[in-house]
Structure 1
Amino acid sequence: MTEWIYFIHAPREDFAATMTDEEQRVWGAHAQLLQRRLDEGSLILAGPTLGPVNTGICVFEAPDEDAARRYMAEDPTIASGIGRGELRPFRAAFLRPAT
């Protein structure tokens, strides 16, 4: 498996503080999907950047770029068109040991 990272670019600054009800519903579905992927073992880590620019980050494993693009496209935040996805290959080079 290869590691990949995708970024979720929010549609505006301070997005986390200004989400509409529909955007909150989509982000709830996004959180459920991430939990399912974590439980299944494909998700390595995910979370938002904080502050006025809320970019989501998702690091995961997929066998190839086509599978990675499908993985990203299935995210409700991207599938809905609310967020814009950006995919890149990724390699974790420095990891803190598990405690």
Structure 2
Amino acid sequence: MKSYLCKFIPPRADFLATMSADEAGWMQQHGAFLDELLAQGKIVAHGPVMDPAGGYGVSLYQIADDENIEDLTSQDPIIQHGAGHYEHHPMLHLKFRG
């Protein structure tokens, strides 16, 4: 298994406060996408970080060795609509309460 901290960087610092109707819809799809990966066991946890300098999202992934993290995150609807990008940070291991 491989583990990653993935940081979703929105297209602008005030994105959560200034989303258009389209962007709000994409964010709903984004949440549903992450919840599905959570249900599949590929994501251990995810959620928004309310940083005063600009919010962002964090997801902790634990995926099979033959899976590619960039392939997974590229399927996120918010990414497919060109609204932001991901940073992928490999972790040596991921321990969590089950």
- TM norm structure 1: 0.83
Distance of 1:90 and 1:33 partners within structure 2: 22
**Which amino acid in 1 is paired with 2:70?**
R
Contact persistence 2:3–2:94 (CA under 8 A): no
Q: Please, which moves more after superposition, 56-65 or 29-38?
A: 56-65
Q: Map of 1:31-50 to 2, 5 A cutoff?
A: 31-50=31-50
User: How far 1:91 sits from its partner (Å)?
Assistant: 3.8
Partner of 2:81: 80
Q: Map of 1:52-63 to 2, 5 A cutoff?
A: 52-63=53-64
**Which amino acid in 2 is paired with 1:33?**
F
Q: Please, which moves more after superposition, 84-93 or 43-52?
A: 84-93
The alignment partner of 2:87 has SS state of strand
Distance 1:65 1:18, change over 3 A: farther
Contact persistence 1:44–1:61 (CA under 8 A): yes
Structure 2: gaps (5+ residues):
none
User: How far 1:92 sits from its partner (Å)?
Assistant: 5.2
Distance of 2:37 and 2:81 partners within structure 1: 19
Contact persistence 2:4–2:61 (CA under 8 A): yes
Distance of 1:83 and 1:65 partners within structure 2: 26
Structure 1: gaps (5+ residues):
none
Distance of 1:34 and 1:2 partners within structure 2: 18
Percent of residue pairs identical: 25
Contact persistence 1:8–1:78 (CA under 8 A): no
- TM norm structure 2: 0.84
CA RMSD of aligned residues (A): 2.1
